[in-house]
Amino acid sequence: MQWIEIIIKTTEEASDAICEMLAQLGADGIAVSDPYEIKRIIDEPGSLAYADEGYVDSLGTDVTVKGYFAELDDGLIRMGAKNDEYIDPDGIGMIYGNITDKSLKVDEAIAELKRRLDEIGEFLDVGEGFLSYSYVKDEDWANNWKADYKSFRISDRVVICPSWEDTEFAPEDIVVRLDPGSAFGTGTHETTSMCAEFIDRYMEELGDGKLLDLGTGSGILAIIARKLGASDVEAIDIDKLAVDVAIENCEINGCGDIKCHTGELKDAYEGSYKMIIANIIADVIAMIVPDVKAHMNEDSIFICSGIINTKADRVGKALSDNGMRIIEENEKNDWIAMVVARQ
């Protein structure tokens, strides 16, 4: 088997939407090189990161997104949901209703990709867009995106480190070994880091209560919560591929007791939780607020993120309409995370 590497040059504004589009098309791996993120790391107060003079300016302003798709033995490109993917057309799974489920010739696959980019371009500035594609040998493809993924601090106490990196950390650091695989959630995005900071801050209030990570992706937030002291953690995702990655990441981190499974909130094992985390998208958060509240006690908290600031009012209205109140809010680069309680 060999892999096709698709290269897209875009804007920071559109990079997340393009990554989601590639995931919907069934990409087996996604790598993002974001000069803005590099600049933020270097400029962060107290950062140990260093760059030679002129390096930051040389990065330019374009975000490069690479998607990796498998070419099957018959020469077709595998795109869309895998055969054993979890899709529930009657539930939240409907947000993935436009996922393809087919294998295409290369020119057809590129045409489909360009069409999806044009759709995104109706709402966001996608920049140059599609640049090129090339073939990568099976033994080399994984290393292409590894080069862009290094260890970093996601909160005061937690460091994210890829499994292939041999780095020494301070004794008090809580280290999460995480490989992004093909599931969303490497920890580099603002939405994930804000969730991690809130989990760290509210962990004492969790006590020995049950925690649910809804839309777990790579499992990063569930693992962070477990390593910070949560004793009873459950992680759900509608994407079976993501759940498989999450289970593997839990095992790597010695958190094999996290209950990872495929499903939606209605498939949760417990009737109520002391803490519910959802790092998904604003529209879905607004939609599931009533069900989230039904799984909360009077002293429970709901940490939600993935909310672009232009849709924060919609989420806020859904919360207030359902007897919920925002007790804390944070914003990073147009993304908002909230800590919510029942009124």
| Contact (Cβ atoms closer than 8 angstroms) between residue 199 and residue 226 | no
At residue 91, the pLDDT reads 41
pLDDT at residue 234 tops 60: yes
- Which of 81-85, 300-304, 307-311 is predicted least confidently? 81-85
Looking at the structure, tell me whether residues 216 and 314 fall in a common domain. yes
Round to whole Å and give the CA distance between 34 and 27: 19
C-alpha distances in Å from residue 86, one per residue of 175, 176, 183, 239, 269: 31, 27, 14, 6, 17
Does the CA dihedral 174-247-180-115 come out positive or negative?
negative
pLDDT in tens, 97-112: 344 457 788 899 999 9
Looking at the structure, tell me whether residues 267 and 325 fall in a common domain. yes
**Residue 229 in domain:** yes
Tokens of 56: 């930051």
Coil, strand or helix at 215: coil
Tokens of 36: 């803005």
Number of domains in the chain: 2
**Residue 81 in domain:** yes
Looking at the structure, tell me whether residues 124 and 207 fall in a common domain. no
The CATH number of the domain where 288 resides is what? 3.40.50.150
**Residue 30 in domain:** yes
More confident residue, 137 or 121: 121
Round to whole Å and give the CA distance between 262 and 244: 9
| Contact (Cβ atoms closer than 8 angstroms) between residue 322 and residue 283 | no
Domain boundary among 126, 146, 166: 146
Looking at the structure, tell me whether residues 203 and 255 fall in a common domain. yes
At residue 38, the pLDDT reads 63
At residue 22, the pLDDT reads 87
Looking at the structure, tell me whether residues 114 and 203 fall in a common domain. no
More confident residue, 35 or 250: 250
Domain boundary among 146, 167, 198: 146
Helix and strand totals (H; E) in the chain: 10, 16
**Residue 311 in domain:** yes
Looking at the structure, tell me whether residues 284 and 140 fall in a common domain. no
Coil, strand or helix at 248: helix
Place of tokens 């007790």: 327
Looking at the structure, tell me whether residues 93 and 186 fall in a common domain. no
Domain boundary among 90, 122, 146: 146
At residue 189, the pLDDT reads 76
pLDDT at residue 323 tops 90: yes
At residue 157, the pLDDT reads 84
Question: In percent, how much of the chain has pLDDT > 90?
Answer: 40
**Residue 168 in domain:** no
For 258, the domain range is: 180-342
| Contact (Cβ atoms closer than 8 angstroms) between residue 67 and residue 109 | no
**Residue 161 in domain:** no
pLDDT at residue 261 tops 60: yes
**Residue 152 in domain:** no
Mean pLDDT of 65-85: 72
- Which of 64-78, 214-228, 296-310 is predicted least confidently? 64-78
Looking at the structure, tell me whether residues 322 and 237 fall in a common domain. yes
Cβ partners under 8 Å of residue 184, min gap 6: 19, 20, 23, 217, 218, 242
Backbone angles phi, psi at 167, to 5 degrees: -130, 140
The H or E element that residue 32 is part of is strand 29-33
pLDDT in tens, 150-162: 778 888 888 888 7
| Contact (Cβ atoms closer than 8 angstroms) between residue 274 and residue 207 | yes
